[in-house]
Amino acid sequence: MSAITTPNQFDVPAKGNEPHGHNYLNHSKGILSWMFTLDHKRIGLMYMALVLFAFFLGGTFAMLLRTELIAEGPTLLADKTQAWNLYNHMFSLHGAVMVFLFIIPAVPAILGNFILPMQLGAKDVAFPRLNLLSLYVYAAGAAFFLYVLLSGVINAWTGYTMPGGFGLDTGWTFYTPYSSSKSMSSVIPATGGAFILGFSSILTGVNFIASIHTLRPKGMGWFDMPLFLWGLYATSIIQILATPVLAITLMLLIAERAMGIGIFDPALGGDPVLYQHFFWFYSHPAVYIMILPAMGVISEIISTFSRRHIFGYTFIAYSSIAIALLGFLVWGHHMFTSGQSALTNVAFSLITFSVAIPSAIKVFNWVTTMYKGSIRLETPMLYGIGFIWMFSIGGLTGIFLAALSVDIHMHDTYFVVAHFHYVMVGSMLFAFIGGMNYWFPKMFGKMYNERVAAFAAILLFIGFNLTFFIQFVAGSHGMPRRYANYPVQFVSHHYWSTIGAYIMGLSLVIVLFNWVAALLNGKKAPANPWGSNTLEWQSASPPPHDNFPTTPVVTDPYDLDRWRYVSDDEGWVLTDEAKAAIAAGTARTGQLH
């Protein structure tokens, strides 16, 4: 650790790319150097390729779902039964792929993998081999999963049966006893795929927890960590505590289906509600696996683009942990109509309300951070503001649903669909794309076209709200979810919702196109294009193989005054005072709380 005060630490390269252009991307060449790499940055990029592919698939099927619903009656196929069957397979695919293959791994596995060690000033995660293993476990699980799900859609659409694949028509929740005893689709391979994917998630969680505990550099206490790391830490806690329960649940489900062991099927003496308890004991906390790292991203973005120190650091940090822990006590709110006792319902309802407290703490702190800040509406910030807006709607409608009497009316309607899409898409997806734009220059050393990116962000915001806000209305009027058809009074709701979905699809294509264009001929990115003070910006863009030439000096991660803007080409550089402080060994100005 002697390197900490190495005087030339502040020689952060002004330009992103080194004179000889040596970085982790060209560190070694050939496909094998990627496939067997232990470099967390390359693993993060490989995750990115896989996860974005899954997102593309899940999104495509979202478009097809909405197309089926654009008008009353069968749309994609002429025959009613076939059209409804196709719809069932498509929404199972959309839900299962989005949840297990995209939302859960997106922020931790892509951004977390890439950024976590760098924010720690470390060379890698704690267990690089485990990290690579988790990637391959993910790929294997995804292959299973996709084969099964696609086989169902293909069969429903064209009549062609892929060998061994009969699709999945249970939705992503695999409720028993339909899944264990009735469904004619390939439940075992699908749940087997989810089981395998769970291990990938567990391995990532173990890795991140160990990294954050033991790889923090000298001078970085728990409360000197960037809030993104707090978000990832809270996420990892959930991943290691909840995912094993899903694993055993799916194992029991597989055994039930294969052998009829009678744990969940009432006809065999089992208890179907026990399945729901087990499933939601994982899947409710899983919602926080999705949102907590996203909240971490937003904390970084809001502070950076408001040019203000984050407000209420300690509160945001603790609220992440509070959400993670409270999240384990609320699963019963998915079973208000499943025959739980009234007392249980009341308890789960009250605890569910209480999750609003740490969530609101975060929102208030973000808004207060922006207050009197010098806000720059660059693309990541647009996503950040969009996040606050939509997370507020998603969170507040969650309170509606936590209220018992309201939930009895709203249960299994489009109101629920709209609520969780506001949290999962409006919030998590916005944070993910915002985070991708925020760290894109660091990852690839290229700048994307700011105007196109901002246009796509605004279009996505409009498309999203058009798609889902009207679903609150449809749901509160009684439109049930998961139905392929609807009565005539919902025609216009569904029509506009579908138009909104197309706008979303278009804007996401623009986002992707913009990234690809930036990769091909984007401007070179400076080391620190945004003037952030977390450690990853103190390395080159893209970073060298070992992340940092010398271990960087740790300071308050939100002390943005240490940087001054030079030019678009050179980005932000350390002020002379900051350099002097490093040289004098007094750089640690962190006063967070």
Partner 1 sequence: MSSISTNLGDPNDGHGHGHGGHAHSHNPFLAHHFDTPEQQFTTGKLGMWVFLGTELLMFGGLFCAYAVYRHNHPEVFMYAHTYLDKWWGAVNTVVLLVSSFTMAWGVRAAQLGQKGLLCVLLVLTLLGGAGFMVIKGIEYKAKWEHHLFPGRLNVYNKDYAGPEKPGEAHDTHGAAGVSHGAAAAQGHDHAHDTGVAGKPVVEHANLATGAEAAPRSEGAETAPQAPKPGEHAEVAAMAKPVDGPKIPVSFFDPNSLGAASDAAKIVPKSGGPAGLAASEAAHGHAAHMAYGDLPARDKVRVNTFFSIYFMMTGLHGVHVVVGMGLIAWILIKGATGIFGPSYYTPVDLVGLYWHLVDLIWIFLFPLLYLIH
Residue 517's binding partner out of partner 1, Cu ion, none, with CB under 5 to 8 Å set by partner kind = none
Q: Which class for 186: exposed (0-12), middle (13-18), buried (19 or more C-beta within 10 A)?
A: buried
Closest to partner 1 by CB, 526 or 549: 549
Handedness of CA 535, 540, 543, 549 (dihedral sign): negative
Using alpha carbons only, give the angle 287, 427, 349 rounded to the nearest 5 degrees: 45
Closest to partner 1 by CB, 57 or 289: 289
Nearest residue to Cu ion, by Cβ distance, number only? 284
Closest to partner 1 by CB, 86 or 122: 122
Closest to partner 1 by CB, 28 or 368: 28
Considering only CA atoms, which of 77, 79, 109 is closest in space to residue 90? 77
Which amino acid is it at 480? P
CA dist., res. 188 & res. 174, Å (int): 10
Residue 49 exposure: Cα atoms within 13 Å on the Cβ side = 10
| Least CB distance to partner 1 at residue 124 (A) | 4
Is residue 562 a contact partner of residue 533, using CB atoms and an 8 Å limit? yes
Tokens of 402: 């936590």
| Of residues 532-591, those binding partner 1 (CB under 8 A) | 544-546, 548-551
233 binds partner 1 (CB under 8 A): no
Residue 468: alpha-carbon gap to chain centroid: 19
Handedness of CA 542, 544, 547, 549 (dihedral sign): negative
- Of the listed pieces 13-21, 144-152, 479-487, 563-571, which binds partner 1 according to CB under 8 A? 13-21
| Least CB distance to partner 1 at residue 166 (A) | 21
Q: CB-based contacts of 525: which residues, under 8 Å, 6+ apart?
A: 16, 441, 442, 444, 445, 446, 447, 541, 571
| Least CB distance to partner 1 at residue 286 (A) | 14
Question: Which value, to the nearest 10 degrees, does the dihedral of the CA atoms of residues 41, 436, 208, 322 take?
Answer: 170
| Of residues 485-514, those binding Cu ion (CB under 5 A) | none
Closest to partner 1 by CB, 211 or 283: 211
CA dist., res. 404 & res. 280, Å (int): 18
CA dist., res. 200 & res. 192, Å (int): 13
Q: How many CB atoms lie within 10 A of CB 57?
A: 20
Tokens of 171: 């939705």
| Least CB distance to partner 1 at residue 244 (A) | 4
421 binds Cu ion (CB under 5 A): no
CA dist., res. 121 & res. 109, Å (int): 18
124 binds partner 1 (CB under 8 A): yes
Considering only CA atoms, which of 540, 569, 446 is closest in space to residue 20? 540
| Residue from the set 33, 161, 214, 492 that interacts with partner 1 by CB under 8 A | 214
| Residue from the set 252, 330, 370, 425 that interacts with partner 1 by CB under 8 A | 252
User: What totals of helices (H) and strands (E) does the chain contain, helices first?
Assistant: 18, 4
| Least CB distance to partner 1 at residue 484 (A) | 32
Is residue 542 a contact partner of residue 443, using CB atoms and an 8 Å limit? yes
Closest to partner 1 by CB, 124 or 300: 124
Closest to Cu ion by CB, 257 or 284: 284
Residue 30's binding partner out of Cu ion, partner 1, none, with CB under 5 to 8 Å set by partner kind = none
196 binds partner 1 (CB under 8 A): no
> What DSSP letter does each residue of 68-81 carry, written as one string?
HHSSSS--SSSSHH
18 binds partner 1 (CB under 8 A): yes
| Residue from the set 65, 83, 126, 229 that interacts with partner 1 by CB under 8 A | 126
Is residue 303 a contact partner of residue 310, using CB atoms and an 8 Å limit? yes
CA dist., res. 502 & res. 86, Å (int): 20
Closest to partner 1 by CB, 118 or 474: 118
Q: How many CB atoms lie within 10 A of CB 47?
A: 26
Considering only CA atoms, which of 461, 439, 473 is closest in space to residue 506? 461
Residue 576's binding partner out of Cu ion, partner 1, none, with CB under 5 to 8 Å set by partner kind = none
| Residue from the set 162, 268, 360, 396 that interacts with partner 1 by CB under 8 A | 268
| Residue from the set 248, 408, 509, 580 that interacts with partner 1 by CB under 8 A | 248
- Of the listed pieces 282-290, 358-366, 460-468, 524-532, which binds Cu ion according to CB under 5 A? 282-290
| Least CB distance to Cu ion at residue 284 (A) | 4
Q: CB-based contacts of 87: which residues, under 8 Å, 6+ apart?
A: 65, 68, 76, 484
| Residue from the set 67, 77, 82, 271 that interacts with partner 1 by CB under 8 A | 271
Residue 476: C-alpha distances to residues 38, 411, 484, 493 (Å): 50, 10, 18, 12
Closest to partner 1 by CB, 19 or 159: 19
11 binds partner 1 (CB under 8 A): yes
Residue 325's binding partner out of partner 1, Cu ion, none, with CB under 5 to 8 Å set by partner kind = none
- Of the listed pieces 56-64, 84-92, 142-150, 237-245, which binds partner 1 according to CB under 8 A? 237-245
- Of the listed pieces 3-11, 51-59, 292-300, 433-441, which binds partner 1 according to CB under 8 A? 3-11
Which amino acid is it at 88? N
| Residue from the set 69, 107, 137, 209 that interacts with partner 1 by CB under 8 A | 209
Residue 478's binding partner out of Cu ion, partner 1, none, with CB under 5 to 8 Å set by partner kind = none
- Of the listed pieces 14-22, 43-51, 100-108, 380-388, which binds partner 1 according to CB under 8 A? 14-22
| Residue from the set 89, 94, 216, 284 that interacts with Cu ion by CB under 5 A | 284
| Least CB distance to Cu ion at residue 398 (A) | 8
- Of the listed pieces 280-288, 292-300, 517-525, 582-590, which binds Cu ion according to CB under 5 A? 280-288
| Of residues 64-103, those binding partner 1 (CB under 8 A) | none
Contact positions toward partner 1, by CB under 8 A? Answer: 1-3, 6, 8, 11, 13, 18-20, 22-23, 27-28, 117, 122-128, 130, 202, 205-207, 209-211, 213-215, 240-245, 247-249, 251-252, 255-256, 258-263, 267-271, 274, 278, 544-546, 548-551
Contact positions toward Cu ion, by CB under 5 A? Answer: 284
